Amino acid sequence: MDFFEAVYKRHSYRGEFESTGVPKEDIVKILDAGIRAASGMNYQTVNFIAVMDPEKRRALHDLLPKKTTATAPVMIVVVTTEMQSPKGMSFEKEDYAAAVENVLLAVTALGYASVWIDGETHLEGRDRAMGKLLNVPEGWHVRCLLPVGVPKKQGAQAEKKPFEERVRFE
Ligand SMILES: Cc1cc2nc3c(=O)[nH]c(=O)nc-3n(C[C@H](O)[C@H](O)[C@H](O)COP(=O)(O)O)c2cc1C
């Protein structure tokens, strides 16, 4: 799929996934796109955990019960660690946002769908529970969950405000 087609087709998919899995080689491609994202000072503070094990997926679903988490053949958990530049700057959040967008575009380009579950991951201590479940080492932060699979229904990107409202040429 052409890059711009992927940009336009990427959307937050919240429905059920087909039972067909995602081949490991596609998961590798998707996560390789993630690790190739830009990162502040090239510190590469973002790591991914691809959860394929059915029991662990069920446990993630128990923490975030949704159609996507009930049916996704793979769930990507995004984790970061803080690294401070010599001038005291830290880019954890920017780094993972860049990496997640790359992952979502790769997901779309390969014909899969996903949704960036982030806000809800931080409610009621879910991030900590996910960290415990997945043996996330001390000092690493669980940021978000991306369920990935073949969508049962085609969805569309949420409407965006007009270009002219958001872009200005000087
Ligand atoms: C930082 C961030 C947090 C998000 N958290 C959630 C979430 O917890 N649950 C969810 O269903 N979608 C979440 N989303 C997806 C947004 O709701 C979605 O991107 C937005 O509504 C626009 O729709 P689109 O992705 O189809 O363009 C999040 C997106 C971002 C960037």
CATH number of domain containing 71: 3.40.109.10
| Cα–Cα distance list, 14 to 28, 31, 77, 161 (Å) | 23, 21, 17, 22
Domain assignment of residue 161, yes or no = no
Domain assignment of residue 166, yes or no = no
Helix (H, G, I), strand (E, B) or coil at 133: helix
Mean pLDDT for the stretch of residues 83-105:
95
| Cα–Cα distance list, 76 to 8, 88, 117 (Å) | 22, 30, 10
Looking at ligand 1, which residue's alpha carbon is closest to its atom 23? 158
Mean pLDDT for the stretch of residues 2-10:
97
Domain assignment of residue 32, yes or no = yes
Note whether 2 and 147 are within 8 A (CB). no
Domain count, the chain: 1
- Computed over every residue of the chain, the mean pLDDT equals 97
Query: In the β-sheet with 46-51, what is the strand arrangement from edge to edge?
Result: 46-51, 74-81, 140-148
Residue linked to tokens 């988490």: 69
Domain assignment of residue 167, yes or no = no
Domain assignment of residue 48, yes or no = yes
93 lines ligand 1 (CB under 6 A): no
Domain assignment of residue 165, yes or no = no
Mean pLDDT for the stretch of residues 53-74:
98
Helix (H, G, I), strand (E, B) or coil at 137: coil
pLDDT at 5: 97
**Cα of 58 to ligand 1 centre, how many Å?**
22
**Cα of 11 to ligand 1 centre, how many Å?**
9
Q: Which residue in 108, 100, 85, 112 sits closest to 34, CA to CA? A: 100
CA 137 – CA 79 distance, rounded (Å)? 10
Domain assignment of residue 164, yes or no = no
154 lines ligand 1 (CB under 6 A): no
Extended strands (E) in the chain: 46-51, 74-81, 140-148
67 lines ligand 1 (CB under 6 A): no
123 lines ligand 1 (CB under 6 A): no
Confidence at 151, pLDDT banded by 50, 70, 90: very high
Direct distance between the N- and C-terminal alpha carbons of the chain, in angstroms, rounded to an integer: 33
Which of 8, 12, 130 to probe ligand 1 with, by most ligand atoms within 8 A of CB? 12
Q: Which domain, by its residues, includes 55? A: 3-151
158 lines ligand 1 (CB under 6 A): yes
